[in-house]
Amino acid sequence: MNLSSLKFFRSLRAENKQFAVIGLGRFGKAVCSTLHGLGYEVLGVDTDEKKVTQALSDRIAAHVVQLDSTDPSALQGAGIFEFDTVIVAIGNYLAESITTTLNLKEGGVTHVIAKASSETHLKLLKKVGADHVVFPEREMGCSLARILTKPSILERFDLDPDHSIVELLVPEKFDGKTIADLDLRRRYGLNLLAVGRADKFEINPQPNERLKNGEVMVVIGSNKDINRLPI
């Protein structure tokens, strides 16, 4: 996640309790189901009658409607222009995705999040006004590649292209050493944020605490320095 993404998410209103999701493929269904499970009111939308029927049967949203999102009057009639946040999860149909995004922005929707399926798609979505674009396939691909090449790194949060926060297993080389012994800041240019033990994280652990192989540590720093860790 980069700084522009953080700026966008800060603009979302915490009191927003309603979301519309257009496109009920795998990605759209997952977004609907998760938001609905968290207690938010969700409107699911798709042109495919079978997908709408299935969504109703699975109860993944409070309301599900069938309509053509490339038709501004259909969106207006369903009240979608009144939503503060709308997710365009169409993805694989470039023309429909772009037209829908344009319709939503012209209809006054404050926050439009759109799924992209290619770099060209991403650029076009930005040009028609998408406030935030997600690229789930690329993100999953990058995540898988990192897991395969660095299996000790459990989670990674990208601050920008060059810096990250990572959660990783304590390397064997660090086993039995205190945090002071490791001196991560001087040796690796990294700061230790937390240590995980028995399903709990200790924030800002004391310098005299010893680390054990198999425990979890959370560090922040440049990707170049993180890659120098003995993992």
CATH number at residue 43: 3.40.50.720
Q: How far apart are CA 157 and CA 6, in angstroms?
A: 12
Whether residue 207 sits in one domain with residue 180: yes
Predicted confidence at residue 55, as pLDDT, reads: 96
| 213 domain-assigned | yes
pLDDT, mean of residues 132-157: 82
Predicted confidence at residue 128, as pLDDT, reads: 97
Fill in the DSSP letter of residue 151: T
Q: Is the confidence at residue 13, as pLDDT, over 70?
A: no
* Cα angle: 3, vertex 138, 97; to 5 degrees: 85
| 194 domain-assigned | yes
pLDDT, mean of residues 182-206: 92
Residue 58, C-beta contacts closer than 8 angstroms, at least 6 positions apart = 29, 33
Whether residue 220 sits in one domain with residue 125: no
| 231 domain-assigned | no
Cβ atoms of 118 and 91 within 8 Å: the answer is no
Final residue belonging to a domain, choices 103, 137, 171: 137
Whether residue 113 sits in one domain with residue 69: yes
Which residues form the domain of 155? 149-226
Residue 146, C-beta contacts closer than 8 angstroms, at least 6 positions apart = 153, 156
| 142 domain-assigned | no
At 149, is the pLDDT very low, low, confident or very high (cuts 50, 70, 90)? confident
Whether residue 126 sits in one domain with residue 72: yes
Average pLDDT of the chain?
89
CA distances, 180 to each of 12, 32, 82, 176, 196 (Å): 41, 46, 55, 12, 17
**Count of domains in the chain?**
2
Whether residue 197 sits in one domain with residue 113: no
